[in-house]
Structure 1
Protein backbone atom coordinates (compact mmCIF):
# COMPACT_ATOMS: atom_id res chain seq x y z
CA UNK A 1 0.00 0.00 0.00
CA UNK A 2 2.80 2.42 0.88
CA UNK A 3 4.58 1.69 -2.43
CA UNK A 4 1.31 2.34 -4.27
CA UNK A 5 0.85 5.71 -2.56
CA UNK A 6 4.43 6.73 -3.37
CA UNK A 7 3.88 5.97 -7.06
CA UNK A 8 0.78 8.21 -7.30
CA UNK A 9 1.32 11.58 -8.97
CA UNK A 10 -0.28 14.74 -7.51
CA UNK A 11 -2.68 14.88 -10.47
CA UNK A 12 -3.79 11.28 -9.87
CA UNK A 13 -4.13 12.02 -6.16
CA UNK A 14 -6.56 14.84 -6.97
CA UNK A 15 -8.47 13.39 -9.91
CA UNK A 16 -8.79 9.67 -9.17
CA UNK A 17 -11.31 10.10 -6.31
CA UNK A 18 -13.48 12.25 -8.60
CA UNK A 19 -14.14 9.25 -10.83
CA UNK A 20 -16.38 7.84 -8.08
CA UNK A 21 -19.89 9.19 -7.64
CA UNK A 22 -19.82 8.70 -3.86
CA UNK A 23 -16.61 10.74 -3.61
CA UNK A 24 -18.04 13.61 -5.63
CA UNK A 25 -21.05 13.71 -3.29
CA UNK A 26 -18.84 13.48 -0.22
CA UNK A 27 -16.58 16.31 -1.36
CA UNK A 28 -19.49 18.56 -2.28
CA UNK A 29 -21.39 17.98 0.95
CA UNK A 30 -18.29 18.23 3.14
CA UNK A 31 -17.23 21.51 1.55
CA UNK A 32 -20.74 22.94 1.91
CA UNK A 33 -21.14 21.83 5.52
CA UNK A 34 -17.66 23.12 6.29
CA UNK A 35 -18.58 26.51 4.87
CA UNK A 36 -21.86 26.70 6.81
CA UNK A 37 -20.27 25.65 10.10
CA UNK A 38 -17.31 27.97 9.47
CA UNK A 39 -19.63 30.93 8.95
CA UNK A 40 -21.64 30.22 12.09
CA UNK A 41 -18.50 29.49 14.12
CA UNK A 42 -17.52 33.17 13.89
CA UNK A 43 -20.65 34.13 15.80
CA UNK A 44 -20.10 31.27 18.24
CA UNK A 45 -16.55 32.44 18.90
CA UNK A 46 -17.58 36.04 19.56
CA UNK A 47 -20.44 34.91 21.80
CA UNK A 48 -18.33 32.38 23.71
CA UNK A 49 -20.77 29.54 23.07
CA UNK A 50 -18.39 26.61 22.72
CA UNK A 51 -20.19 24.66 25.45
CA UNK A 52 -23.60 25.48 23.96
CA UNK A 53 -22.45 24.06 20.63
CA UNK A 54 -21.33 20.90 22.40
CA UNK A 55 -24.71 20.65 24.13
CA UNK A 56 -26.81 20.99 20.99
CA UNK A 57 -24.65 18.60 18.95
CA UNK A 58 -25.02 15.85 21.57
CA UNK A 59 -28.69 16.57 22.27
CA UNK A 60 -29.75 15.73 18.70
CA UNK A 61 -28.78 12.08 19.09
CA UNK A 62 -32.19 10.87 20.37
CA UNK A 63 -33.81 12.61 17.42
CA UNK A 64 -31.57 10.75 14.98
CA UNK A 65 -32.45 7.40 16.58
CA UNK A 66 -36.18 8.17 16.60
CA UNK A 67 -36.01 9.24 12.95
CA UNK A 68 -34.33 6.00 11.91
CA UNK A 69 -36.82 3.93 13.93
CA UNK A 70 -39.91 5.66 12.54
CA UNK A 71 -38.65 6.12 8.99
CA UNK A 72 -38.78 9.92 9.25
CA UNK A 73 -36.24 12.43 7.88
CA UNK A 74 -33.42 12.39 10.39
CA UNK A 75 -32.87 16.12 9.99
CA UNK A 76 -36.41 16.92 11.15
CA UNK A 77 -36.26 14.84 14.34
CA UNK A 78 -32.70 15.89 15.11
CA UNK A 79 -33.68 19.54 14.76
CA UNK A 80 -36.67 19.08 17.09
CA UNK A 81 -34.50 17.54 19.79
CA UNK A 82 -31.82 20.20 19.29
CA UNK A 83 -34.29 23.05 19.73
CA UNK A 84 -35.93 21.14 22.59
CA UNK A 85 -32.62 20.93 24.43
CA UNK A 86 -32.11 24.68 24.03
CA UNK A 87 -35.61 25.39 25.35
CA UNK A 88 -35.03 23.06 28.30
CA UNK A 89 -31.72 24.76 29.12
CA UNK A 90 -33.44 28.16 29.14
CA UNK A 91 -36.34 26.87 31.27
CA UNK A 92 -34.15 25.25 33.93
CA UNK A 93 -31.88 28.29 34.07
CA UNK A 94 -34.84 30.64 34.63
CA UNK A 95 -36.58 28.44 37.19
CA UNK A 96 -33.57 27.50 39.33
CA UNK A 97 -30.46 28.98 40.87
CA UNK A 98 -28.17 26.69 38.88
CA UNK A 99 -25.68 28.46 36.62
CA UNK A 100 -25.97 28.17 32.85
CA UNK A 101 -22.82 26.11 32.26
CA UNK A 102 -24.02 23.53 34.80
CA UNK A 103 -27.47 23.38 33.21
CA UNK A 104 -25.92 22.90 29.77
CA UNK A 105 -23.83 19.99 31.05
CA UNK A 106 -26.84 18.36 32.68
CA UNK A 107 -29.09 18.68 29.64
CA UNK A 108 -26.67 17.56 26.93
CA UNK A 109 -25.41 14.54 28.88
CA UNK A 110 -29.01 13.57 29.67
CA UNK A 111 -30.10 13.79 26.03
CA UNK A 112 -26.99 11.95 24.86
CA UNK A 113 -27.59 9.17 27.37
CA UNK A 114 -31.21 8.93 26.18
CA UNK A 115 -29.95 8.47 22.65
CA UNK A 116 -27.62 5.65 23.70
CA UNK A 117 -30.46 3.90 25.54
CA UNK A 118 -32.74 4.21 22.51
CA UNK A 119 -30.05 2.75 20.26
CA UNK A 120 -29.74 -0.28 22.54
CA UNK A 121 -33.50 -0.86 22.86
CA UNK A 122 -35.00 0.02 19.47
CA UNK A 123 -34.75 -2.81 16.97
CA UNK A 124 -33.35 -1.29 13.78
CA UNK A 125 -30.31 -1.22 11.53
CA UNK A 126 -28.94 1.89 13.23
CA UNK A 127 -25.16 2.14 13.03
CA UNK A 128 -24.02 3.83 16.23
CA UNK A 129 -20.58 4.55 14.79
CA UNK A 130 -22.15 6.40 11.86
CA UNK A 131 -24.17 8.58 14.24
CA UNK A 132 -21.19 9.32 16.44
CA UNK A 133 -18.54 9.87 13.76
CA UNK A 134 -20.44 10.59 10.54
CA UNK A 135 -20.16 8.98 7.12
CA UNK A 136 -19.90 11.45 4.23
CA UNK A 137 -18.58 8.72 1.93
CA UNK A 138 -21.89 6.88 2.27
CA UNK A 139 -24.26 9.84 2.06
CA UNK A 140 -27.37 9.26 -0.04
CA UNK A 141 -28.90 11.58 -2.62
CA UNK A 142 -31.86 12.31 -0.33
CA UNK A 143 -29.46 13.29 2.46
CA UNK A 144 -27.63 15.53 0.00
CA UNK A 145 -30.89 17.31 -0.79
CA UNK A 146 -31.67 17.76 2.91
CA UNK A 147 -28.19 19.18 3.48
CA UNK A 148 -28.57 21.61 0.58
CA UNK A 149 -31.91 22.89 1.86
CA UNK A 150 -30.78 23.30 5.47
CA UNK A 151 -27.52 24.96 4.41
CA UNK A 152 -29.40 27.43 2.22
CA UNK A 153 -31.69 28.33 5.14
CA UNK A 154 -28.81 28.86 7.57
CA UNK A 155 -26.71 30.93 5.16
CA UNK A 156 -29.69 33.07 4.14
CA UNK A 157 -30.66 33.90 7.72
CA UNK A 158 -27.07 34.67 8.70
CA UNK A 159 -26.71 37.04 5.76
CA UNK A 160 -30.05 38.77 6.41
CA UNK A 161 -29.40 39.33 10.13
CA UNK A 162 -25.62 39.62 9.84
CA UNK A 163 -25.19 43.06 11.41
CA UNK A 164 -27.70 42.52 14.24
CA UNK A 165 -26.24 39.12 15.13
CA UNK A 166 -22.70 40.49 15.02
CA UNK A 167 -23.60 43.32 17.40
CA UNK A 168 -25.51 40.94 19.69
CA UNK A 169 -22.55 38.55 19.90
CA UNK A 170 -20.02 41.34 20.40
CA UNK A 171 -21.97 43.48 22.90
CA UNK A 172 -25.50 42.37 23.83
CA UNK A 173 -26.02 45.27 26.24
CA UNK A 174 -25.28 47.84 23.55
CA UNK A 175 -27.57 46.00 21.14
CA UNK A 176 -30.43 46.24 23.65
CA UNK A 177 -29.72 49.91 24.30
CA UNK A 178 -30.27 50.83 20.66
CA UNK A 179 -33.55 48.94 20.42
CA UNK A 180 -32.53 45.56 19.03
CA UNK A 181 -34.61 42.66 20.33
CA UNK A 182 -31.81 40.51 21.69
CA UNK A 183 -34.22 37.84 22.93
CA UNK A 184 -35.26 37.04 19.37
CA UNK A 185 -31.64 37.07 18.22
CA UNK A 186 -30.69 34.75 21.08
CA UNK A 187 -33.13 32.05 20.04
CA UNK A 188 -32.54 32.68 16.35
CA UNK A 189 -28.85 31.98 16.84
CA UNK A 190 -29.62 28.86 18.86
CA UNK A 191 -31.97 27.66 16.12
CA UNK A 192 -29.25 28.16 13.52
CA UNK A 193 -26.86 26.29 15.80
CA UNK A 194 -29.28 23.35 15.92
CA UNK A 195 -29.65 23.34 12.13
CA UNK A 196 -25.87 23.48 11.65
CA UNK A 197 -25.39 20.63 14.09
CA UNK A 198 -27.85 18.59 12.02
CA UNK A 199 -25.99 19.14 8.75
CA UNK A 200 -22.65 18.51 10.47
CA UNK A 201 -23.82 15.05 11.51
CA UNK A 202 -23.44 13.84 7.93
CA UNK A 203 -19.74 14.64 7.77
CA UNK A 204 -18.20 14.33 11.22
CA UNK A 205 -20.97 12.95 13.44
CA UNK A 206 -22.22 14.00 16.85
CA UNK A 207 -18.90 13.73 18.66
CA UNK A 208 -16.86 15.96 16.35
CA UNK A 209 -19.45 18.39 14.98
CA UNK A 210 -18.66 20.80 17.81
CA UNK A 211 -15.14 21.13 16.39
CA UNK A 212 -16.55 22.28 13.06
CA UNK A 213 -18.65 24.86 14.92
CA UNK A 214 -15.74 26.25 16.93
CA UNK A 215 -12.33 25.65 15.32
CA UNK A 216 -12.72 27.68 12.08
CA UNK A 217 -13.94 30.76 13.96
CA UNK A 218 -11.20 30.43 16.56
CA UNK A 219 -8.59 30.14 13.80
CA UNK A 220 -9.86 33.20 11.95
CA UNK A 221 -10.07 35.15 15.23
CA UNK A 222 -6.31 34.80 15.58
CA UNK A 223 -5.71 36.12 12.07
CA UNK A 224 -7.80 39.31 11.91
CA UNK A 225 -9.64 41.91 13.98
CA UNK A 226 -12.28 42.60 11.33
CA UNK A 227 -15.43 40.49 11.41
CA UNK A 228 -15.97 40.45 7.63
CA UNK A 229 -12.46 39.12 7.06
CA UNK A 230 -12.93 36.71 9.94
CA UNK A 231 -15.99 35.14 8.29
CA UNK A 232 -14.22 34.79 4.95
CA UNK A 233 -11.16 33.18 6.53
CA UNK A 234 -13.31 30.84 8.63
CA UNK A 235 -15.35 29.68 5.65
CA UNK A 236 -12.26 29.14 3.48
CA UNK A 237 -10.31 27.27 6.16
CA UNK A 238 -13.29 25.10 7.11
CA UNK A 239 -14.22 24.19 3.53
CA UNK A 240 -10.57 23.52 2.65
CA UNK A 241 -10.18 21.33 5.76
CA UNK A 242 -13.28 19.35 4.81
CA UNK A 243 -12.10 18.73 1.25
CA UNK A 244 -8.55 17.86 2.26
CA UNK A 245 -9.83 15.67 5.08
CA UNK A 246 -12.01 13.67 2.68
CA UNK A 247 -9.08 13.19 0.30
CA UNK A 248 -6.78 12.04 3.12
CA UNK A 249 -9.49 9.70 4.38
CA UNK A 250 -9.91 8.19 0.90
CA UNK A 251 -6.21 7.54 0.29
CA UNK A 252 -5.27 6.57 3.85
CA UNK A 253 -8.38 4.52 4.70
CA UNK A 254 -9.01 6.37 7.97
CA UNK A 255 -12.15 7.79 9.60
CA UNK A 256 -13.36 10.72 7.49
CA UNK A 257 -14.75 12.83 10.33
CA UNK A 258 -11.59 12.49 12.36
CA UNK A 259 -9.48 13.33 9.32
CA UNK A 260 -11.45 16.54 8.69
CA UNK A 261 -11.20 17.71 12.29
CA UNK A 262 -7.49 16.89 12.49
CA UNK A 263 -6.84 19.08 9.44
CA UNK A 264 -8.85 21.88 11.06
CA UNK A 265 -6.87 21.49 14.27
CA UNK A 266 -3.57 21.58 12.37
CA UNK A 267 -4.59 24.84 10.66
CA UNK A 268 -5.53 26.29 14.06
CA UNK A 269 -2.13 25.31 15.49
CA UNK A 270 -0.38 27.00 12.57
CA UNK A 271 -2.39 30.18 13.19
CA UNK A 272 -1.76 29.89 16.93
CA UNK A 273 1.99 29.77 16.34
CA UNK A 274 2.46 32.03 13.32
CA UNK A 275 -0.46 34.49 13.20
CA UNK A 276 0.93 37.94 12.16
CA UNK A 277 -0.31 39.78 15.26
CA UNK A 278 -1.45 37.19 17.81
CA UNK A 279 0.77 34.18 17.13
CA UNK A 280 3.03 32.78 19.83
CA UNK A 281 6.21 33.44 17.83
CA UNK A 282 5.12 37.00 17.01
CA UNK A 283 4.49 37.74 20.68
CA UNK A 284 7.83 36.16 21.60
CA UNK A 285 9.59 38.36 19.05
CA UNK A 286 7.99 41.49 20.53
CA UNK A 287 9.05 40.45 24.04
CA UNK A 288 12.64 39.88 22.91
CA UNK A 289 12.73 43.26 21.15
CA UNK A 290 11.53 44.98 24.30
Structure 2
Protein backbone atom coordinates (compact mmCIF):
# COMPACT_ATOMS: atom_id res chain seq x y z
CA UNK A 1 0.00 0.00 0.00
CA UNK A 2 1.17 3.50 -0.79
CA UNK A 3 1.14 6.27 1.80
CA UNK A 4 -1.78 7.82 -0.08
CA UNK A 5 -3.78 4.59 0.22
CA UNK A 6 -2.88 4.23 3.90
CA UNK A 7 -4.23 7.71 4.60
CA UNK A 8 -7.41 7.32 2.54
CA UNK A 9 -8.50 3.79 3.43
CA UNK A 10 -9.82 4.57 6.95
CA UNK A 11 -11.65 7.64 5.62
CA UNK A 12 -13.99 5.52 3.53
CA UNK A 13 -15.90 4.81 6.74
CA UNK A 14 -18.26 7.49 8.05
CA UNK A 15 -17.50 6.61 11.67
CA UNK A 16 -13.80 7.33 11.08
CA UNK A 17 -14.62 10.69 9.52
CA UNK A 18 -16.82 11.63 12.47
CA UNK A 19 -14.23 10.31 14.92
CA UNK A 20 -11.44 12.41 13.42
CA UNK A 21 -13.58 15.52 13.40
CA UNK A 22 -14.52 14.91 17.04
CA UNK A 23 -10.86 14.34 17.97
CA UNK A 24 -9.85 17.64 16.34
CA UNK A 25 -12.67 19.59 18.01
CA UNK A 26 -11.95 18.11 21.41
CA UNK A 27 -8.22 18.59 20.94
CA UNK A 28 -8.56 22.30 20.21
CA UNK A 29 -10.93 22.98 23.11
CA UNK A 30 -8.95 20.96 25.65
CA UNK A 31 -5.65 22.46 24.52
CA UNK A 32 -6.83 26.05 24.91
CA UNK A 33 -8.38 25.39 28.32
CA UNK A 34 -5.42 23.20 29.23
CA UNK A 35 -2.98 26.10 28.87
CA UNK A 36 -4.60 27.73 31.91
CA UNK A 37 -4.68 24.36 33.69
CA UNK A 38 -0.90 24.01 33.22
CA UNK A 39 -0.09 27.64 34.03
CA UNK A 40 -2.10 27.54 37.25
CA UNK A 41 -1.05 24.06 38.33
CA UNK A 42 -4.58 22.64 38.13
CA UNK A 43 -3.77 19.20 36.71
CA UNK A 44 -5.05 17.43 39.83
CA UNK A 45 -8.22 19.50 39.65
CA UNK A 46 -8.79 18.40 36.04
CA UNK A 47 -8.19 14.76 36.90
CA UNK A 48 -10.56 14.97 39.86
CA UNK A 49 -13.31 16.55 37.76
CA UNK A 50 -12.95 13.90 35.07
CA UNK A 51 -13.56 11.19 37.67
CA UNK A 52 -16.19 13.17 39.60
CA UNK A 53 -18.64 13.10 36.68
CA UNK A 54 -18.90 9.30 36.89
CA UNK A 55 -22.02 9.28 39.15
CA UNK A 56 -23.75 11.69 36.77
CA UNK A 57 -23.01 9.40 33.84
CA UNK A 58 -24.36 6.43 35.80
CA UNK A 59 -27.55 8.27 36.79
CA UNK A 60 -28.03 9.48 33.22
CA UNK A 61 -27.74 5.91 31.97
CA UNK A 62 -30.28 4.65 34.48
CA UNK A 63 -32.83 7.38 33.79
CA UNK A 64 -32.30 7.48 30.03
CA UNK A 65 -32.26 3.75 29.41
CA UNK A 66 -28.84 3.90 27.78
CA UNK A 67 -29.47 6.90 25.50
CA UNK A 68 -26.40 9.13 24.97
CA UNK A 69 -28.21 12.44 25.49
CA UNK A 70 -29.06 12.02 29.20
CA UNK A 71 -25.53 10.79 29.91
CA UNK A 72 -24.10 14.03 28.53
CA UNK A 73 -26.48 16.34 30.39
CA UNK A 74 -26.21 14.51 33.70
CA UNK A 75 -22.43 14.37 33.32
CA UNK A 76 -22.41 18.11 32.62
CA UNK A 77 -24.58 18.84 35.66
CA UNK A 78 -22.39 16.69 37.89
CA UNK A 79 -19.17 18.22 36.55
CA UNK A 80 -20.34 21.78 37.17
CA UNK A 81 -21.60 20.81 40.64
CA UNK A 82 -18.25 19.20 41.49
CA UNK A 83 -16.30 22.22 40.22
CA UNK A 84 -18.36 24.66 42.24
CA UNK A 85 -18.23 22.34 45.25
CA UNK A 86 -14.43 22.26 45.19
CA UNK A 87 -14.28 26.04 44.94
CA UNK A 88 -16.79 26.56 47.72
CA UNK A 89 -15.17 24.14 50.18
CA UNK A 90 -11.64 25.47 49.58
CA UNK A 91 -12.75 29.06 50.17
CA UNK A 92 -15.32 28.81 52.93
CA UNK A 93 -14.05 26.04 55.19
CA UNK A 94 -10.40 27.13 55.53
CA UNK A 95 -9.33 23.99 53.71
CA UNK A 96 -6.59 24.02 51.08
CA UNK A 97 -7.70 23.55 47.50
CA UNK A 98 -5.88 20.25 46.98
CA UNK A 99 -7.58 18.87 50.09
CA UNK A 100 -11.00 20.00 48.83
CA UNK A 101 -10.24 18.41 45.47
CA UNK A 102 -9.33 15.14 47.17
CA UNK A 103 -12.55 15.15 49.21
CA UNK A 104 -14.84 15.79 46.22
CA UNK A 105 -12.84 13.46 43.95
CA UNK A 106 -12.97 10.52 46.36
CA UNK A 107 -16.60 11.01 47.34
CA UNK A 108 -17.99 11.47 43.83
CA UNK A 109 -15.91 8.68 42.32
CA UNK A 110 -16.95 6.30 45.10
CA UNK A 111 -20.59 7.21 44.46
CA UNK A 112 -20.12 6.46 40.77
CA UNK A 113 -18.55 3.08 41.51
CA UNK A 114 -21.40 2.28 43.91
CA UNK A 115 -24.02 3.06 41.26
CA UNK A 116 -22.20 1.04 38.62
CA UNK A 117 -21.70 -1.96 40.90
CA UNK A 118 -25.37 -1.99 41.91
CA UNK A 119 -26.59 -2.65 38.36
CA UNK A 120 -24.11 -4.96 36.67
CA UNK A 121 -26.04 -5.13 33.40
CA UNK A 122 -24.80 -1.77 32.17
CA UNK A 123 -21.17 -1.84 33.28
CA UNK A 124 -20.02 -2.81 29.78
CA UNK A 125 -21.75 0.20 28.20
CA UNK A 126 -20.29 2.59 30.76
CA UNK A 127 -16.82 1.23 29.99
CA UNK A 128 -16.96 3.35 26.82
CA UNK A 129 -17.12 6.43 29.01
CA UNK A 130 -14.27 5.24 31.20
CA UNK A 131 -11.90 4.57 28.29
CA UNK A 132 -13.43 6.48 25.38
CA UNK A 133 -15.38 5.51 22.27
CA UNK A 134 -14.51 8.15 19.68
CA UNK A 135 -15.48 5.82 16.82
CA UNK A 136 -19.00 5.68 18.25
CA UNK A 137 -19.50 9.44 17.89
CA UNK A 138 -22.73 10.31 16.05
CA UNK A 139 -23.68 13.48 14.20
CA UNK A 140 -25.73 14.85 17.16
CA UNK A 141 -22.71 14.24 19.41
CA UNK A 142 -20.55 16.24 17.00
CA UNK A 143 -23.00 19.13 16.96
CA UNK A 144 -23.15 19.15 20.76
CA UNK A 145 -19.35 19.09 21.02
CA UNK A 146 -19.02 21.89 18.46
CA UNK A 147 -21.63 24.06 20.17
CA UNK A 148 -20.20 23.77 23.68
CA UNK A 149 -16.64 23.93 22.38
CA UNK A 150 -17.38 27.17 20.53
CA UNK A 151 -19.00 28.61 23.68
CA UNK A 152 -15.90 27.76 25.75
CA UNK A 153 -13.54 29.33 23.21
CA UNK A 154 -15.73 32.43 22.92
CA UNK A 155 -15.77 32.99 26.69
CA UNK A 156 -11.99 32.57 26.88
CA UNK A 157 -11.56 35.02 23.99
CA UNK A 158 -13.81 37.60 25.61
CA UNK A 159 -12.20 37.28 29.05
CA UNK A 160 -8.68 36.52 27.84
CA UNK A 161 -6.99 39.52 29.51
CA UNK A 162 -8.76 38.90 32.81
CA UNK A 163 -7.77 35.22 32.88
CA UNK A 164 -4.17 36.09 32.01
CA UNK A 165 -3.87 38.68 34.77
CA UNK A 166 -5.45 36.32 37.29
CA UNK A 167 -3.10 33.49 36.26
CA UNK A 168 0.16 35.47 36.31
CA UNK A 169 -0.41 38.23 38.89
CA UNK A 170 -3.25 37.78 41.41
CA UNK A 171 -2.05 40.90 43.27
CA UNK A 172 -2.48 43.01 40.13
CA UNK A 173 -5.90 41.40 39.62
CA UNK A 174 -6.90 42.55 43.11
CA UNK A 175 -5.49 46.03 42.43
CA UNK A 176 -7.55 46.28 39.25
CA UNK A 177 -10.57 45.12 41.24
CA UNK A 178 -11.22 42.17 38.98
CA UNK A 179 -13.88 39.76 40.28
CA UNK A 180 -11.22 37.14 41.05
CA UNK A 181 -13.50 34.67 42.80
CA UNK A 182 -16.10 34.82 40.04
CA UNK A 183 -13.42 34.34 37.38
CA UNK A 184 -11.98 31.39 39.30
CA UNK A 185 -15.39 29.74 39.46
CA UNK A 186 -15.96 30.45 35.76
CA UNK A 187 -12.64 28.86 34.80
CA UNK A 188 -13.50 25.80 36.89
CA UNK A 189 -16.86 25.51 35.13
CA UNK A 190 -15.20 25.87 31.71
CA UNK A 191 -12.80 23.05 32.59
CA UNK A 192 -15.75 20.91 33.71
CA UNK A 193 -17.62 21.56 30.44
CA UNK A 194 -14.49 20.81 28.38
CA UNK A 195 -14.12 17.49 30.21
CA UNK A 196 -17.74 16.49 29.60
CA UNK A 197 -17.70 17.34 25.87
CA UNK A 198 -14.46 15.34 25.57
CA UNK A 199 -15.77 12.38 27.51
CA UNK A 200 -16.63 10.14 24.57
CA UNK A 201 -13.31 10.79 22.85
CA UNK A 202 -10.79 9.63 25.46
CA UNK A 203 -12.95 8.71 28.46
CA UNK A 204 -12.80 9.51 32.15
CA UNK A 205 -9.59 7.58 32.83
CA UNK A 206 -7.52 9.37 30.17
CA UNK A 207 -9.16 12.79 30.12
CA UNK A 208 -6.51 14.63 32.11
CA UNK A 209 -3.93 13.82 29.42
CA UNK A 210 -5.79 15.89 26.81
CA UNK A 211 -5.95 18.83 29.20
CA UNK A 212 -2.34 18.73 30.35
CA UNK A 213 -0.02 17.04 27.83
CA UNK A 214 -0.50 19.25 24.71
CA UNK A 215 -0.33 22.43 26.81
CA UNK A 216 2.76 21.16 28.64
CA UNK A 217 4.49 20.38 25.34
CA UNK A 218 3.61 23.82 23.96
CA UNK A 219 4.92 25.49 27.14
CA UNK A 220 8.36 24.02 26.39
CA UNK A 221 8.40 25.66 22.97
CA UNK A 222 7.22 29.21 23.75
CA UNK A 223 6.40 31.63 26.54
CA UNK A 224 3.94 33.68 24.52
CA UNK A 225 0.46 32.67 25.59
CA UNK A 226 -1.38 33.00 22.23
CA UNK A 227 1.38 31.02 20.49
CA UNK A 228 1.27 28.45 23.30
CA UNK A 229 -2.48 27.99 22.78
CA UNK A 230 -2.06 27.61 19.00
CA UNK A 231 0.77 25.08 19.38
CA UNK A 232 -1.15 23.12 22.03
CA UNK A 233 -4.21 22.98 19.75
CA UNK A 234 -2.02 21.80 16.85
CA UNK A 235 -0.36 19.09 18.95
CA UNK A 236 -3.70 17.90 20.32
CA UNK A 237 -5.32 17.80 16.87
CA UNK A 238 -2.39 15.93 15.31
CA UNK A 239 -2.44 13.52 18.25
CA UNK A 240 -6.14 12.85 17.70
CA UNK A 241 -5.77 12.18 13.97
CA UNK A 242 -2.56 10.14 14.29
CA UNK A 243 -3.98 8.19 17.23
CA UNK A 244 -7.06 7.20 15.23
CA UNK A 245 -4.90 5.97 12.35
CA UNK A 246 -2.86 3.91 14.80
CA UNK A 247 -6.06 2.59 16.37
CA UNK A 248 -7.36 1.56 12.94
CA UNK A 249 -4.22 -0.22 11.74
CA UNK A 250 -2.98 -1.68 15.04
CA UNK A 251 -6.46 -2.59 16.37
CA UNK A 252 -6.01 -0.90 19.74
CA UNK A 253 -8.34 1.28 21.82
CA UNK A 254 -8.79 4.66 20.16
CA UNK A 255 -8.67 6.73 23.37
CA UNK A 256 -5.46 5.06 24.50
CA UNK A 257 -3.90 5.49 21.04
CA UNK A 258 -4.67 9.23 21.06
CA UNK A 259 -3.20 9.74 24.53
CA UNK A 260 -0.09 7.66 23.76
CA UNK A 261 0.48 9.69 20.60
CA UNK A 262 0.08 12.90 22.57
CA UNK A 263 2.58 11.63 25.15
CA UNK A 264 5.00 10.76 22.35
CA UNK A 265 4.73 14.31 20.99
CA UNK A 266 5.54 15.65 24.45
CA UNK A 267 8.53 13.32 24.72
CA UNK A 268 9.89 14.48 21.35
CA UNK A 269 9.46 18.15 22.27
CA UNK A 270 11.05 17.60 25.68
CA UNK A 271 14.09 15.87 24.14
CA UNK A 272 14.52 18.49 21.39
CA UNK A 273 14.22 21.46 23.74
CA UNK A 274 16.54 19.76 26.25
CA UNK A 275 19.18 19.20 23.58
CA UNK A 276 18.72 22.79 22.41
CA UNK A 277 19.38 24.14 25.90
CA UNK A 278 22.50 22.00 26.28
CA UNK A 279 23.90 23.23 22.94
CA UNK A 280 23.49 26.85 24.10
CA UNK A 281 25.34 26.30 27.37
- Paired residue for 1:80? 77
- Paired residue for 2:62? 69
Match runs of 1:258-273 below 5 Å: 258-273=256-271
Structure 1 counterpart SS, 2:200: coil
Determine whether 1:282 maps to 2:276: yes
Distance 1:208 1:15 in 2: 28
Distance 2:148 2:220 in 1: 29
Asked whether the 8 Å contact 1:75–1:146 carries over to 2, the reply is: no
Tell me the CA shift for residue 85 of structure 1.
Answer: 1.2
Find the partner of 1:173 among 167, 171, 193: 171
Between 70-79 and 182-191, report the one with greater CA deviation. 70-79
Determine whether 1:245 maps to 2:238: no
Q: Work out the number of aligned pairs and report it.
A: 276
Match runs of 1:14-29 below 5 Å: 14-29=7-22
- Paired residue for 2:254? 256
- Structure 2 portions without partners, runs of 5+: none
Normalising to structure 2: TM-score of the pair?
Answer: 0.93
Asked whether the 8 Å contact 1:69–1:124 carries over to 2, the reply is: no
Between 99-108 and 260-269, report the one with greater CA deviation. 99-108
Find the partner of 1:13 among 3, 6, 20: 6
Tell me the CA shift for residue 57 of structure 1.
Answer: 0.8
Distance 1:153 1:172 in 2: 25
Tell me the CA shift for residue 128 of structure 1.
Answer: 3.1
Structure with a larger share of its residues in helix: 2
Q: Please give the root-mean-square deviation of Cα atoms over the aligned residues, in Å.
A: 1.5
